[in-house]
Chains A and B, each alone.
Chain A
């Protein structure tokens, strides 16, 4: 059977599945780089911030600090791993030129973007589960609304997977792959309510924090566990859906134009 005999929808379905399988294979092949570090760092966070410092902090948002911290740490690892997976996989493919395998194939660009985003989702959710397991060692996780937990983590993971994709499209060297995580993502995450409630901040800092999208994502996710939030949950989901649509559209436009991939 040659490809010409297949319908375009069949080619797309198998092609999409192949990208996802390949990304899964990559995550598992380098599990020491993809899955283990988050387990180690989250354990350290729980030991130092949760158990040692947390005892002195007392309650946060009406909950034991460790229980308050857990959703933030899970979300932080989901964000960094979703982003990191796609930026390194796609940039690595560009750098090694094997992105050409996909670019010469009959797969449309939106399938290529979706495939890579699913790779980011897979790693983000796998690491999220690992960190959740670590969190359960240190604290009890109350579940307020499972649907909100799942929706928030999937949307957030997709947003940062798309962000990683766009970063990789523009990146010309490995330095540029690291700039955004180091100088944008990490500060926004640390100021995004992972470790504290914005109620602790002065009024002016609270207003500034509201423009940080990660604050809305972390709070929506935390609301799914604890039922407490610093922001509007409806507003947070509106921001997340808008970000997914905008970033996905941008990523596909970039591939269509050939930015960073075609000469």
Chain B
């Protein structure tokens, strides 16, 4: 079954900006799905329409088979949303915020309190449950929004840049938590600017730009479409001129760093051998950029060109 099915979705704002230009998208039940795109691509508009915070201009949206035009209450009951911007009452406590949110989804207060304890503990917020929300740190506020979204145990969890501004340690613990939630059966749609995050967590991906889906498919399949990959080689001794390596594109980044671009048909062993033959010793090597980031940049740049 499809957790989300979007057909011909368009949105034109009152100021004439066409944010979505006929989006078609399917997300399978149980998937961990990445929705990527540069700022202004239409990601948040798409999420806004699915969660009914934005009114669509045309097209259809179904959430677990419930059409948002005819079964909006059923569709909304399936969704938990973690928005990009902090949107809870800063003058309420985390416990009150999550218990009330459960109530808005029909969960009785007794059960809501049990779940509040469970999720606030899992997201390391239990000690702060009585504090005023405004006193929480940025990372805590993000985690509180995740706890709030889970209170009615949604089948589809939508996270709009959930780790923005969160330090790496907390980000990684949030990844573990989200993986666990997904393994328990919750379908997750994630938008993020940290492409490493998408590559680590997600199985399927759609890249949107200018209100259109530019690429979609399995993470592995999409990454295999990349024909070249760039590596940074750290040399033992500094160089003044770029060594000659026929068939390879090399660039000197600094005296001890060399950038090399490798196509699918080439291999790194030949590069190392050729460099060694010229008396250059490679101490270490790393990817220039994350592969998904590379593909993302190419797609976006191609469109702009």
Contact = CB atoms under 8 A, between A and B. Distances in A.
Contacts of B153: 1-3
Interface string B34-56: 00000000000000100111110
Contact of B87 (A18, A101, A263): A101
A1 B105 contact: no
Given A14-B106, A93-B89, A104-B51, A8 B73 contact: yes
The list of the 7 closest CB pairs from A to B, nearest first, reads A18-B103, A11-B106, A105-B104, A97-B87, A106-B73, A106-B76, A3-B77
Given A4-B78, A97-B87, A15 B55 contact: no
Contact of B152 (A2, A22, A108): A2
A11 B105 contact: yes
A109 to B, nearest CB: 10
A25 B73 CA distance: 26
Contacts of B101: 101, 105
Contacts of A140: none
A86 to B, nearest CB: 16
Given A8-B73, A97-B85, A103 B105 contact: no
Nearest to A8: B73
A201 interface: no
Contact of A100 (B73, B87, B154): B87
Interface-centre pick from B54, B91, B100, B101 (highest chain A CB count, 10 A) = B100
Query: What DSSP secondary structure best describes chain A's contact surface?
Result: helix
B155 A4 contact: yes
- Interface size bucket, A side? 35 or more
Contact of B74 (A19, A29, A106, A263): A106
A100 B83 contact: yes
Contact of A15 (B51, B79, B105): B105
B89 A98 contact: yes
A208 interface: no
A97 to B, nearest CB: 4
A104 B154 CA distance: 12
Interface in A80-129: 93, 96-98, 100-108
Given A2-B153, A15-B103, A263 B73 contact: no
Given A97-B85, A103-B53, A108-B73, A1 B111 contact: yes
A96 to B, nearest CB: 6
Interface in B98-126: 100-101, 103-109, 111
A29 B77 CA distance: 30
B10 to A, nearest CB: 14
Interface in A1-24: 1-4, 6, 8, 10-15, 17-19, 21-22
B256 interface: no
B170 to A, nearest CB: 23
Given A25-B96, A100-B87, A262 B55 contact: yes
29 contacts: A1-B111, A1-B153, A2-B152, A2-B153, A3-B78, A3-B106, A4-B74, A4-B77, A4-B78, A10-B106, A12-B106, A14-B103, A15-B103, A21-B103, A22-B100, A101-B87, A101-B104, A101-B148, A102-B104, A104-B53, A105-B105, A106-B74, A106-B76, A262-B52, A262-B55, A263-B48, A263-B53, A263-B54, A263-B55
B88 interface: yes
Nearest to B66: A4
Contacts of B86: 97
Interface string A241-263: 00000000000000000100011
Interface in A209-250: none
B89 A96 contact: yes
A262 B100 contact: no
Contact of B55 (A4, A17, A105, A258): A258
B167 to A, nearest CB: 24
